[in-house]
Each structure stands twice: as C-alpha cells, then as structure tokens.
A and B are shown apart, each in its own frame.
Chain A
Amino acid sequence: MRMSDFVVREAIIPELAATSKEGVIRELIESLHKAGYFKGGDLEDLVKAVMKREMLGSTGIGHGVAIPHTKHSFADRLIGTVGISRTGVAFDSLDGEPVYVFVLLISPQDRPGDHLRALENVSRSLRDDNFVRSLRKATTREAIWNLLEDLNQTT
C-alpha cells in the first residue's frame, strides 16, 4: 500500500485555514466531502467520531505529524487526505510540538488490516524529516500529490 492509494488527490489541502484541533479535522472532512465522498451523510457525525478518538489519546505522533482517524460506516474503503498547516496546530503530540502535517484516515468498520498497513505506510513516508520539510514547503495540491507520487518511485 502507498499513500497515493488512499489519499484523495482532490481533497489535499496545501494551506489549512483552521488553527484548532477540531477545526483542522472538520476542514479535512469537508474537503473529502467536496471531493465527492460521504454524500448524504452527516459530516458532523464524522467530526465527532474523529474527535472522540482524539479524546482517547492524541494521534499526534511527533516530528510535526498527526494522523487523526476513525472507522465509520460512511467509508466503504480506506480513504484519506493530507493537509498542511503553515502556522502549526497544538495537538497534544507525543513530543509536545505543534503539528504541521495532517494525514486524515477514514476506514470501513471491518478492515483493521488496511488501517494498520496505512499507518505503516505513513510512518515509512513521514519518518524522513526531509520529506516532511518538502511537504511543508509545497504550496499547491499538485506539488503535494507529486511528492507522494515520487515517494512511490523511490520506496
């Protein structure tokens, strides 16, 4: 599995407007909705589900990265998106540092294996500080997508 297998290209946000944990999560979910997902579903229900997961323990994994996620019946396969914050967002991360790179994951209820493989892939990609720096410097959706695609060719 590659990041470009589950990241929805049209939903990538190169510059998040939100500056709070819940605001970022809502913005990422709304972006997936605008890209054609969760039609007819209650987006607030999805926001609540992701926030409920955050209440159990932050998904800020350190190095400026967070992976907010949930399982939800709205998803029939694992999907996700990437958002970049220019200012950084307080996220109760493992290292106490602000988060700049967000990878939102929404999984079906019954596919825990896919979720674990996505986590593995996110770690493999984002443990490289140079790659995270490149993502943070990218200013367009295309530039971020191209970085994810280039990653596929080098891993």
Chain B
Amino acid sequence: MKDSRATPLSNVSGMSSQRLTRRVAIANPEGFHLRPQRMFVECARKYPNCTVTLSLNEKRVNGKDLFDLMLLSVNKGTELTLEVTGPEAQAAIEELAAILAAESLDDGTTEPPSAEKGLIPTGVA
C-alpha cells in the first residue's frame, strides 16, 4: 500500500489528506456479523476518495469489499485495526469506528464509540 505521505491525495473541501489508524474492539455480542459488515461497507463507500482497510493479525482486508470483510470472522471483544487514508479520513474513521464499536444495531440506533480509542494519525500530506 502506498504511503499517503509520499503520495498526497487531492485536496477535497479544503481538507488535506491524512492517514489515520484506530484500534476498535467489536462490542456486538454476535460478533462482526453480516449486517454490521454491510453497514460498514456502505459507509466506507460514501468516501470514494478514501481507502479503508481492516486488519486482524496477518489478515488485512479492503473495507469497501463485503466478501473481504466476511473473511475476518471476528467475535465480540476482538480488536481490529481500522486504517483510513484520504482527504476525509477524520470523518470516515469516526463513522466507521462507531459501527465497529456498536453493541447493537437492532433498534436502528448505535452508541457512539467511547471518546478515546487510541487515535494515531500517522501522516498528514
């Protein structure tokens, strides 16, 4: 994967490109199952200028590909590494982390992730 510091993305809406990484534990008792996975993909695709990846140990998958996400097989309590690169990385990572950290999606409401989840900006173009 290209380093965003070496290949700055185009400036969109006045925001500079950046690469953000956050570790988020899956809170849903059913694990990271198909419905939150689909929500995650649909959310990630709202950011066409961002790349989104999820990592678990040696597995690293495209966050915009549902078949990829299904390969992760993640139970409750497992921590994933979410990485977003692009001009809207900050907004995207907030939305995507909230989906991973939601305990339940059944009532249509999701709890936002706790304020501090170890945000690690690793580069600003």
Q: Is the beta-carbon distance between B38 and A112 smaller than 8 angstroms?
A: no
Tell me whether B35 is interfacial, beta carbon within 8 Å: yes
- Residues from chain A with a CB closer than 8 A to the CB of B125 are none
Interface residues of B in 61-117 (CB under 8 A from A): 66-68, 70-76, 105-106
Interface pick from A8-16, A80-88, A118-126: A118-126
Tell me the complex Cα distance, A73–B35, Å.
21
Tell me whether A62 is interfacial, beta carbon within 8 Å: yes
Q: Is the beta-carbon distance between B75 and A61 smaller than 8 angstroms?
A: no
A to B contact number (C-beta, < 8 Å): 55
B25 CB to closest chain A CB, in angstroms?
A: 15
- In this complex, the member of A56, A57, A120, A123 whose beta carbon has the largest number of chain B beta carbons within 10 angstroms is A123
Interface residues of A in 87-134 (CB under 8 A from B): 94, 112-113, 115-117, 119-120, 122-124, 126-127
- Residues from chain A with a CB closer than 8 A to the CB of B41 are 94
Q: Is the beta-carbon distance between A57 and B35 smaller than 8 angstroms?
A: yes
Q: Is the beta-carbon distance between B38 and A57 smaller than 8 angstroms?
A: yes
Q: Is the beta-carbon distance between A112 and B29 smaller than 8 angstroms?
A: yes
Q: Is the beta-carbon distance between A113 and B70 smaller than 8 angstroms?
A: no
Q: Is the beta-carbon distance between A56 and B66 smaller than 8 angstroms?
A: no
B70 CB to closest chain A CB, in angstroms?
A: 4
In this complex, what residue of B is CB-closest to A62? B66
Cβ 8 A contact of A63, one of B67, B72, B75:
B67
- Residues from chain A with a CB closer than 8 A to the CB of B34 are 59, 61, 67, 69, 119
- Residues from chain A with a CB closer than 8 A to the CB of B42 are 94
Q: Is the beta-carbon distance between B67 and A113 smaller than 8 angstroms?
A: no
Q: Mark A47-60, 1 if CB is under 8 A from B, else 0.
A: 00000000011110
Cβ 8 A contact of A120, one of B35, B70, B105, B106:
B70
Q: Is the beta-carbon distance between B31 and A61 smaller than 8 angstroms?
A: no
Tell me whether B30 is interfacial, beta carbon within 8 Å: yes
In this complex, what residue of A is CB-closest to B32? A116
Tell me whether B43 is interfacial, beta carbon within 8 Å: no
Interface residues of B in 2-40 (CB under 8 A from A): 29-35, 38-39
> With A56-B35, A57-B35, A94-B41 in contact, do A120 and B75 touch (Cβ < 8 Å)?
no
A100 CB to closest chain B CB, in angstroms?
A: 16
- Residues from chain B with a CB closer than 8 A to the CB of A122 are 70
Tell me the complex Cα distance, A150–B91, Å.
45
A–B complex contacts, Cβ < 8 Å, 15 sampled: A56-B105, A57-B35, A61-B34, A61-B67, A62-B66, A62-B67, A63-B67, A94-B42, A94-B66, A116-B31, A116-B32, A116-B74, A119-B70, A119-B73, A126-B67
